Structure 1
Amino acid sequence: MTHSPLPRRRFLALGGVAAGAAIFAADPASATSAASNDRITLPGYAFTLGVASGDPTPDGVVLWTRLAPDPLAGDGLGGMPHRVVNVRWEVAEDERFRHVVRRGVHRATPDWAHSVHAEVHGLRPDRVYWYRFRVADQVSPVGRTRTAPRPGAALQSLTFAYASCQAYTDGYFTAYEHMAREDLDLVVHLGDYIYEGGGAGTIGRAHLPATETFSLTDYRIRYAQYKLDPALQAAHAAAPWVVAPDDHDVENNWAGDHSQPDTEPDQDPAVFRLRRAAAYQAYYENLPLRAASMPRGPEMQVYRRLRFGDLLQLDVLDTRRFRDQQLTDQSLRWDPKRQMLGAKQETWLLAGLGASTARWNVLGNQIFAMEADHTDGEPETFGMDTWDGYAAARQRLFDGVARRHVENFIIITGDAHRSVAADLKLDFSEPRSRTIGTEFLGTSISSGGNGTDMDALGVTWLAENPHMRFHNSQRGYQVCHLGRREMYTDYRVVPFVNAPNAPVSTRARVHVQSGRPGVAHVSA
């Protein structure tokens, strides 16, 4: 796909509400027309939470914003009046909107916190567009998006970033400032967009509300706090996103209809489902998701498939909703009845992988799939929240990939607050076992604090798990460059997150050759 660099002045425009004011000043006639169509008076600037786009197809994207003139209002409704508001959107071929190609009106309702999810169709494939919103006499910041290539189109390259785990209290979102300047076709977010716990942290970024989130109001306020961050807004406005929730978007380590074991009322599955319904609704209200993912009570369609020409099939997984409860006895992790994806999702995934004609088959996966022995020497110990706690389900997946001769099988993962590149083995107990693919575990944006290049767990992992080829435990994000002969992932890291303005560097570049599963080599 053809790219052009994103200069610093463009990043600054994407990141601030001043962009909307500037456009309004340059286009008073259009703004007056918008005001004449909707006489609502708002108590302040409505687009404080920025703009976003997502889930691109060859003919369109979904455009997102949420009206919130008082984003941290105690009722969670962002200072909006309790009425339906017409929000106008425009898509143009140029940044100055001289060539508007699509426009429409979305009815933003108080039931969904005046969020906008405008599904745009009729655009050209594999093309950059700009978009904005209008309400009353106000104009939003401008966002940049890109449609997917035509199905089967022969692509020479595609570049996407992926990220996860952005605890507000743990650090600044500086990594997103740098991501917004990257030349990207897509951003994939693999979960833990918010953290549900209370606490103030130590760097002056205390959570709002100050206590753990349980109600819809709680989750709405927490999302508003995160989305006020200018670096996060800039990254959203720079490229389309594909998103999926993980545990902290609801509650730590939840599984199916079960909360993590504690003394809270949601130990009752019926109470937990109410909490999940609130969390899912707030997640949808604040992210660029299509109507197909609109929650219905405690249920939400997370897993889905996106295609980008003949180069990429991206399968986004849901590794929370359909899994069995976590084990307390790791000797049971090979129980063949235990599910991670659930039978329906597992069947959907393997059928889609078997039928894929894409050069690269990538799974967007929340928790790591590689085996990770956490102990020096014997006995081996494994985490029960990851695929290690669902070893039989992992084996079914890997056996299915092998039987279907899936080419260039790649898993991208978040959650662990560290980076690893690993060969995926049919039998992790035998280093000479067949390699069926590669996993790129990506670090956190801020969760875990500053981090280090190597820590004690990293030393153990590399010593005890010969399929792991690279490790780092700093903060940052990953950029994947897909070509016809190879792909490589750049591990982009920042040296600190406890203060703003950290620089970014590439800690390692990990290569995979087309037709040869596993890590080819690592250049540091």
Structure 2
Amino acid sequence: MNDRAHSRSSDARLTRRALLQAASVVTGVGLASLSGCARVLETVRFPANPFALGVASGDPWPDSVVLWTRLSTDPLGPTGAGLPVSAVLVAWEVAHDEAFTRVVRRGTVPATPEQGYAVHAEVYGLEPGRAYFYRFLAGGEVSPVGRTRTMPAMNADPERLRFAFVSCSDYQNGYFNAYGHLGREDVDLVLHLGDYIYEYGPNPRGVRQHNGPEIVTLDDYRRRYALYKGDTQLQAAHAAAPWIVVWDDHEVENNYAADVPEERASGEAPVTREAFLARRAAAYQAYYENMPLRASSLPKGPDLQLYRRLTWGRLAQFSMLDTRQYRTDQPCGDGFKPPCAAVADPNATLTGPAQERWLLDGLGASQARWNIVGQQVMFAPYDWAAGPAQVLNMDQWDGYPAARNRILGYLQARRPSNPVVLAGDIHSAWVHDLRADFARPDSEVLATELITTSISADFPAAAIPGTTAALADNPHTRYFNGAARGYAVCELTRETWRTDFRAVSGITSPNSTVTTDASFVIENGRPGAQRA
């Protein structure tokens, strides 16, 4: 979302150093071989518990899951403060029970300074469709316990799936109460659709403060993640279920597009492409270090393979997109604008050609009952100006209508089963009918879009009346709420999909209640959501 509210700090400097070489990931049953690692400390004592950033799991497969932690004894200090300059051997355990009396897998992984002391343990040999508990051990210290689960077998026909999807956690704008409540929900999975951190410098009006000016270097990004991951409510949500993550823009910089920084239209000092790609490389490296991602997502300079596909048996397929790394520049100078000629560019793309083909091929080959596209920005068109004028958000799919029409045309021609598009970014909750032709309100509904509000990022109160007034000009929009912070919970069976939009009572203190603001149901074979 184009929500820049703070100026860049004058003392923030870009780094041109290349990415540090990734350490090899070592997993397995029992002690793993460390022959490929330079000097690894198997015995070490820490000045404080090194698991202050919590634990997480992610990218579950039927027989495997990624376990994550990151060693830190001084989370807000320089990366590695209080830790050895050598790699540290970290053990992990996976068990059937929370007391770890029935351990089913053990292994070790070196946490290296080159990777910010992050641990990614890819655990194999697990049973499909089963919950597990996990923990880490190092230097006589034990991590918090996390709960994870594997996906059902590929050919299984599970009765249900319950997952949540979230977006946009701005530390300065408020407390992460939504994460705390999410940690107490009974969900199988959590999808994070981007803006896990915000890159801005301090906001004097914020409920709490960022640690330092706008982040641009690898150490900046690492310390910003440490600030966020030190939040106990975020830790609780991570420990409760496996996460499937994708980024949006603030993990690097607001509204960047591929190798084009935001400054190109903001009147700030120019940033060269080389310098911005160095910043992107630092941001991508820190993102990988701090997310439960597989080694297949190890960054290579300023590139990181993030789009991927996961399945919940034959009930649901998740196609997770990356709409930042490959997109063309936003048209019309970005922002909320009347459409200009560039909006009609047939070559404009959010996904890039290769990812678009991957998405359509996956939808065409899917055997799943529900086909879920997890991505970042609003897919449906929305005219933000009530009346005859037209104003579009150029950072959303409205800036790339040719790409949107190609996807809608494919849905109409190939008829994949029950496509549902998920989004975040806009700090407000929405439901849209995705029609074959939005200029004809009576045209066929091909799919449904569900958009979650933010965990804590702000939708300006002053913008709510105008957005509400424009609803009459957007008949495909079934629901809008810009005032609430929270998340969405979806429960799927073979015949119905129910979404509950959950709203917290406030974010200005770390205490809140949570209620369901609205519920919608999608019926199998009937695109479009109905009020529950």
Tell me the TM-score normalised to structure 1 length: 0.90
Q: Which residue number in structure 2 is paired with residue 109 of structure 1?
A: 112
The 5-angstrom pairing of residues 406-421 of structure 1 reads: 406-421=416-431
Q: Which residue number in structure 2 is paired with residue 238 of structure 1?
A: 240
One of 465, 487, 502 as aligned partner of 1:456? 465
Structure 1 residue 80 displacement after superposition: 2.0
Structure 1 residue 460 displacement after superposition: 2.8
Whole-angstrom CA distance in 1 between matches of 2:420 and 2:81: 40
The answer for unaligned runs of 5 or more in structure 1 is 1-29, 31-36
One of 132, 150, 170 as aligned partner of 1:129? 132
Q: Which residue number in structure 1 is paired with residue 355 of structure 2?
A: 345
Whole-angstrom CA distance in 2 between matches of 1:464 and 1:82: 60
Q: Secondary structure at the match of 2:392?
A: coil
The answer for unaligned runs of 5 or more in structure 2 is 1-29, 31-40, 333-338
Q: Secondary structure at the match of 1:333?
A: helix
Whole-angstrom CA distance in 1 between matches of 2:441 and 2:398: 17
Whole-angstrom CA distance in 2 between matches of 1:490 and 1:340: 28
Q: Secondary structure at the match of 1:478?
A: strand
The 5-angstrom pairing of residues 235-274 of structure 1 reads: 235-260=237-262, 261=264, 262=266, 267-274=271-278
One of 118, 121, 146 as aligned partner of 1:118? 121
One of 287, 294, 298 as aligned partner of 1:294? 298
Structure 1 residue 498 displacement after superposition: 1.3
Whole-angstrom CA distance in 2 between matches of 1:80 and 1:463: 59
Q: Which residue number in structure 2 is paired with residue 371 of structure 1?
A: 381
C-alpha RMSD of matched pairs (Å): 1.6
Whole-angstrom CA distance in 2 between matches of 1:451 and 1:504: 20
Task: Report the residue type matching 1:243 in the other structure.
Answer: V
Structure 1 residue 203 displacement after superposition: 4.8
Whole-angstrom CA distance in 1 between matches of 2:401 and 2:119: 40
Q: Which residue number in structure 2 is paired with residue 466 of structure 1?
A: 475
Q: Which residue number in structure 2 is paired with residue 65 of structure 1?
A: 69
Q: Which residue number in structure 2 is paired with residue 154 of structure 1?
A: 157
1:31-89 per-position Cα deviation (integer Å, ceiling 9, x unaligned): xxxxxx8221212110000000000000010000000011111x333532211110000
Q: Secondary structure at the match of 2:502?
A: strand
Structure 1 residue 199 displacement after superposition: 1.6
1:459-504 per-position Cα deviation (integer Å, ceiling 9, x unaligned): 1342210000011111000001111111011000012111121100
Q: Secondary structure at the match of 2:400?
A: helix
Whole-angstrom CA distance in 2 between matches of 1:266 and 1:409: 42
Whole-angstrom CA distance in 2 between matches of 1:334 and 1:238: 45
Contact 2:174 2:207 in 1 (8 A): no
Q: Which residue number in structure 2 is paired with residue 427 of structure 1?
A: 437
Q: Relative to structure 1, is the Cα distance of residues 166 and 442 closer, same or farther in structure 2, using a 3 angstrom cutoff?
A: same
Contact 2:428 2:459 in 1 (8 A): no
Give the % identical residues: 49
Q: Which residue number in structure 2 is paired with residue 10 of structure 1?
A: none
Whole-angstrom CA distance in 1 between matches of 2:427 and 2:302: 28
Q: Secondary structure at the match of 2:251?
A: coil
Tell me the TM-score normalised to structure 2 length: 0.89
Matched, 1:99 2:109: no
1:255-312 per-position Cα deviation (integer Å, ceiling 9, x unaligned): 0110012355663111110000000111111110110111111000110000111101
Q: Which residue number in structure 1 is paired with residue 521 of structure 2?
A: 511
Q: Secondary structure at the match of 2:237?
A: helix
Task: Report the residue type matching 1:221 in the other structure.
Answer: R
Q: Once structures 1 and 2 are overlaid, which stretch shifts more, 196-205 or 139-148?
A: 196-205
Whole-angstrom CA distance in 1 between matches of 2:268 and 2:60: 39
- Aligned pair count reads 484
Contact 1:305 1:313 in 2 (8 A): yes
Q: Secondary structure at the match of 1:394?
A: helix
Q: Which residue number in structure 2 is paired with residue 386 of structure 1?
A: 396
Matched, 1:81 2:91: no
Whole-angstrom CA distance in 2 between matches of 1:283 and 1:411: 24
Contact 1:112 1:285 in 2 (8 A): yes
Whole-angstrom CA distance in 2 between matches of 1:457 and 1:146: 43
Contact 1:258 1:267 in 2 (8 A): no
Whole-angstrom CA distance in 1 between matches of 2:228 and 2:507: 15
1:93-124 per-position Cα deviation (integer Å, ceiling 9, x unaligned): 01100000000000111001110000000000
Contact 2:344 2:401 in 1 (8 A): yes
The 5-angstrom pairing of residues 252-331 of structure 1 reads: 252-260=254-262, 261=264, 262=266, 267-328=271-332, 330-331=340-341
Whole-angstrom CA distance in 1 between matches of 2:159 and 2:62: 17
Structure 1 residue 406 displacement after superposition: 1.2
Task: Report the residue type matching 2:117 in the other structure.
Answer: H
Whole-angstrom CA distance in 1 between matches of 2:521 and 2:196: 28
Q: Relative to structure 1, is the Cα distance of residues 78 and 427 closer, same or farther in structure 2, using a 3 angstrom cutoff?
A: farther
Q: Relative to structure 1, is the Cα distance of residues 138 and 126 closer, same or farther in structure 2, using a 3 angstrom cutoff?
A: same
Whole-angstrom CA distance in 1 between matches of 2:150 and 2:520: 27
Contact 1:90 1:103 in 2 (8 A): yes
Whole-angstrom CA distance in 2 between matches of 1:431 and 1:467: 7
Contact 1:129 1:144 in 2 (8 A): yes
Q: Secondary structure at the match of 1:52?
A: strand
Contact 1:265 1:271 in 2 (8 A): no
Task: Report the residue type matching 2:217 in the other structure.
Answer: S
Structure 1 residue 455 displacement after superposition: 2.2
Task: Report the residue type matching 1:108 in the other structure.
Answer: A
Whole-angstrom CA distance in 2 between matches of 1:400 and 1:518: 17
Matched, 1:205 2:208: yes
